[in-house]
Amino acid sequence: MMKTVAWMTAAALFLPGATALAQEEITARPVGDDTPAAAQETAPSGSFRRDDAWNSPWALHFALPNWFTNSSVLEDYNEFGGMIGASYHLDKMTALRLGLYYQRSSSPTLIQKTTDENGPNREVDYVHQAFSTADHELHLHADFVKRFGAQVVAPYAGAGVYYSYNRSRTYGKDEVDVVREIEHVNNVSSGHELGVRGLIGGEWRIHPHFALYAEYGVLVSLFEVDRFKNQTTTERTVSDVRTTSRTTTERAGTSYLNIQTSLQHGFSLGLAIHFEP
């Protein structure tokens, strides 16, 4: 009889506590949520998944050095891939992508000085070797890209338009080659190009925030406008009388859909950085 009373007392003390714990667990989990409680506790909020396609709102793109192509193809294809760009993800499978490539190079006027010494005799000679140069190159493109699959490694394809601009200038003066004669040079050439482009590639999501991608693409020029103007001015001094002569040459041309000379293709590597919302 004493044992029965003891068991009834223990049950009366345990059951209210167990009922309270069960009620707390039920209220802690949302209604209709079948996810295990342990998974809910360990899953970080707002984290990315590598196998969830383009789950970021936008990303930055950077071209990487390409060791698989020769220098000439790489130089042409850097314009295609874009040295820097950004993509806006319309959803997890489609994106709008913009790219920018710009390069500027220049070189100074080169004059070679030669000194010839023979005993007390000393002779100095100057030879003009090159004029100054300044080159600019700009390339812009916009693409619509479609991804095929949400896995970590997935292919994609896209199409878009591009615009290219280049300008080259050679200028300076030569006053050492001919005695009492100064030659001024100012040569300028420029070009505008508009075309369409297509690409196929693959992306490897190596980290929730980083991905490597490789692309192969083709550019087709729709039309291209080229202009150049060469101007040479020569100043001569004879018997203390200075005369000036000037020669100017200009040319402009436009080409349309010249596939044989305007088709460019190549291979590009890049890094994409995805940003969380």
Answer whether residue 3 shows pLDDT above 70: no
State how far the Cα of 75 lies from the Cα of 64, in Å rounded to an integer: 12
In this predicted structure, what is the pLDDT of residue 81?
46
How many Å apart are CA 254 and CA 151, to the nearest integer?
A: 46
* CB contact set of 181 (below 8 Å; sequence gap of 6+): 175, 234, 235, 236, 237
d(CA 84, CA 78): 10
Q: Is the pLDDT of residue 174 over 80?
A: yes
User: Is the model's pLDDT at 190 over the cut of 80?
Assistant: yes
- pLDDT for 259 beyond 90: no
| pLDDT higher at 89 or 262 | 89
pLDDT (tens digit, 9 = 90+) per residue, 229-242? 999 998 888 887 88
126 touches 116 (CB < 8 A) = no
Cβ neighbours for 134, distance < 8 A, ≥ 6 positions apart: 104, 105, 106, 168, 169, 171
The secondary structure element, H or E, covering residue 186 is strand 181-207
Which of the residue ranges 43-47, 68-72, 104-108, 214-218 would you say has the lowest mean pLDDT?
A: 43-47
Q: What is the mean pLDDT of the chain?
A: 77
What is the reported pTM?
0.69
Euclidean distance between the first and the last CA atom of the chain, given in angstroms as a whole number? 68
Amino acid in position 261: T
Digit-coded pLDDT (tens) for 110-147 = 877 778 888 788 877 777 777 889 999 999 999 999 99
Give the pLDDT score at 17. 45
Question: Residues 159-194, buried b or exposed e (16+ Cβ, 10 A)?
Answer: ebebebebbbbbebbbebeeeeebbbbbbbbbbebe
**Residue 73 pLDDT class (50, 70, 90 cuts):** very low
User: Which CATH number is associated with domain 52-275?
Assistant: 2.40.160
Whether the CB-CB separation of 37 and 25 falls below 8 Å is answered with yes
DSSP 43-103: SPTT---TTSSS-SSEEEEEEE--SSS-HHHHHHHHHHH-SEEEEEESSSSEEEEEEEEEE
Query: Over the stretch 46-68, which tens digit does the pLDDT of each residue have?
Result: 456 777 888 889 999 988 876 55
